[in-house]
Amino acid sequence: MIVLGLSGSLTHDPSAALFVDGRLVAAVEEERFLRDKHAKRQWPYHSAHYCLEVAGIAPGDIDAVAFPFAAFGLSYPGRWHFAKRYWYAPERALKAIFNGNRHFRRNRDAILKLMRDLSIDPDRTPFVPVPHHLTHASSAYHLSGFDGKVAILGIDGKGEYATTFFGYGENGQIHCIKEFFDPDSLGGVYGALTQYLGFEMLDGEFKVMGMAPYGDPAKYDFSPLIQCDGRSFTVDTTLVNTVGLRRYKQDGLGFYFSPKLVDWLGPKREGDEIDDPYVDYAASMQKLLEDVALQLIETYLGDILRETGKLCFAGGVALNVKLNQRIIDLPHVHELFVQPAASDAGTAVGAASYVAHEMGDAIAKQEHVYLGPSFSTEDGRRACESHPAKPIFEQVPDAPQAAARLLAEGHPVAWFQGRMEFGPRALGNRSILGDPSQPGIADRINAQIKYRERWRPFCPSILDRAAEEILQTRHPAPYMTFAFTVAEHWKARIPEVVHMDGTARAQVVTQATNPRYYALIEELEKLRGVPVVLNTSLNRRGEPIVCTPGDALDMFYGSDLQYLFVEDLLVRKTK
């Protein structure tokens, strides 16, 4: 079967994913083509076109188009829960009861138009809507490669109405144990505090997580935000997850927290510095998320985990690596698989995998995220020749070796190769690299290349043969979705990729999935004695990861980078 998944149902992170006979062959976010981070209020036209083109699939060959948003009848408990909890905004409450599928109809009409724009005939190719949280579940469960009975967890801001999903998978079928509904949303509360701390919701949650280790969670009790008895939780909507007149407003913009929260905690944070008391607020929010999530995991998934030891996790909150670290540390969790594109971009994968399974395909394990466009050395040459900055470039016989030498000399290097990664993490194909044993390299990349907050941490890419010694675990970690405590004797050797709490959000690199990147790290090891490279995404603050050689050159000339590799080309600004 050939199933195309299209996302964008919640007005952000549109993407496309293509399954052929149960195998994920292509996936990409629309933001990479539009050069507009999160591509809000857009639809995945370029993404879908790419997926079909790279797979050699004609529009008429598609068996189904899957979409991660569905309609729910009046008896669905989420609609009534929404109406009850939003009583203070009666217009919204009444719409949930009397017009509760208005968003679905808007989405359906937009996707049917998109299908026609792509020359996919809706009269011949079924449009198949799938409930949002079921797509998150499928994206993690069906692609995990796990056998037998598997616990499934989904936590995000919200889908149609659900915000949190507990279930299990067995024999390919997904079973729901418990759902929680808007406005009772762990992801929503974290997003509201992200806004209060001065960052953008749906983008700055990583910054809150990175800020948290600088603070003391014991200084402030954030439990008033979420009342949890272990079996259920309720968000205080007089403080967060607010709508309508309850929202705090500034410069004409409404936020997902209330003036009452500002009265309690003080003015909304501004600026880029990590300052008191806001670092402590970040620490308290992170601890609250972890504590509530772990209580609910024990209640609804504890018995299954003690039976099987396997957990699949998706939804935006699944990208919180500190929460994932605590989940892995649970005695009855033997292996955790987090969908590497766990946010709403990954729902295109989840919708398509769910529909492909329902149509009879066995879904293959996801082995990597290198699913986007690729470009040749000649493509890079043409981009250099046409770029207005007139870069100096040469073809080198051994790009990994040449890059490693520059890294060992203390230079940051932009590294562009192969197919672009799907998801928010650059994993060695669209990356900025540094030698993690060189003091100050992280500060330089933050200040002069990424132009982002100086306290933001960087990630290590580690050779698989050295990972257990450095990270003190054998747990798989191919996608930078987990934090691990770095071994004491390694902290001083790779200080630029160890966060201030002694942890690292690591990528374990294998020769099988990325031989060229593996060779680069091996060359650096020969020169500096560390089987690790500092890795961050090839973009500047506020921009999507680069897609094309032209994008890479634009970023190169918009920063202090001096060296860029595009496949076998070494690009310089000066001789």
* 273-298 pLDDT tens trace: 878 999 999 999 999 999 999 999 99
Tell me the average pLDDT of the chain: 97
* pLDDT tens, position by position, 247-260: 999 999 999 999 99
Instruction: Flag whether pLDDT at 575 surpasses 80.
Output: no
**What topology is assigned to 2-139+340-358 in CATH?**
Nucleotidyltransferase; domain 5 (3.30.420)
| Number of residues that this document lists for the chain | 575
* pLDDT tens, position by position, 146-192: 999 999 999 999 999 999 999 999 999 999 999 999 999 999 999 99
CATH, range 186-337: 3.30.420.40
Question: Radius of gyration of the chain from Cα atoms?
Answer: 23
113, two tokens: 């138009």
* pLDDT tens, position by position, 116-156: 999 999 999 999 999 999 999 999 999 999 999 999 999 99
| pLDDT at res. 72 | 98
Instruction: Flag whether pLDDT at 453 surpasses 90.
Output: no
Q: Enumerate residues 6+ apart whose C-beta is below 8 A from 218.
A: none
What gap in Å lies between CA 380 and CA 544, rounded to an integer? 19
**Average pLDDT of 219-229?**
97
**Do the domains spanning 2-139+340-358 and 186-337 agree at the CATH topology level?**
yes
% residues pLDDT > 70 (the chain): 100
DSSP letter for 486, please: P
Helices 186-196 & 278-308 angle (0-180, nearest 10): 160
Cβ atoms of 375 and 422 closer than 8 Å:
no
The reply to whether 46 belongs to the active site is: no
Q: How confident is the model at residue 56 (pLDDT cuts 50, 70, 90)?
A: very high
What HEC string does 137-175 produce?
Answer: HHHHHHHHCCCCCEEEEEECCCCCCEEEEEEEEECCEEE
Cβ atoms of 194 and 200 closer than 8 Å:
yes
Q: Cα angle vertex 567, ends 563, 569, to 5°?
A: 50
Tell me which of 3.90.870.20, 1.20.1250.30, 3.40.80.10, 3.40.50.1100 is the CATH number of domain 377-572: 3.90.870.20
Cβ atoms of 430 and 478 closer than 8 Å:
no
% residues pLDDT > 90 (the chain): 98
> Which one of 12, 81, 133, 142 is the catalytic residue?
12
How many angstroms separate the Cα of 269 from the Cα of each of 90, 106, 230, 272, 539? 31, 36, 32, 9, 25
* pLDDT tens, position by position, 529-570: 999 999 999 999 999 999 999 999 999 999 999 999 999 999
Q: In what order do the strands lie in the sheet with 335-338?
A: 173-181, 162-170, 150-155, 310-314, 335-338
| pLDDT at res. 249 | 96
| pLDDT at res. 550 | 98
* pLDDT tens, position by position, 307-345: 999 999 999 999 999 999 999 999 999 999 999 999 999
| pLDDT at res. 94 | 96
Domain boundaries, the chain: 2-139+340-358, 186-337, 377-572
DSSP letter for 215, please: S
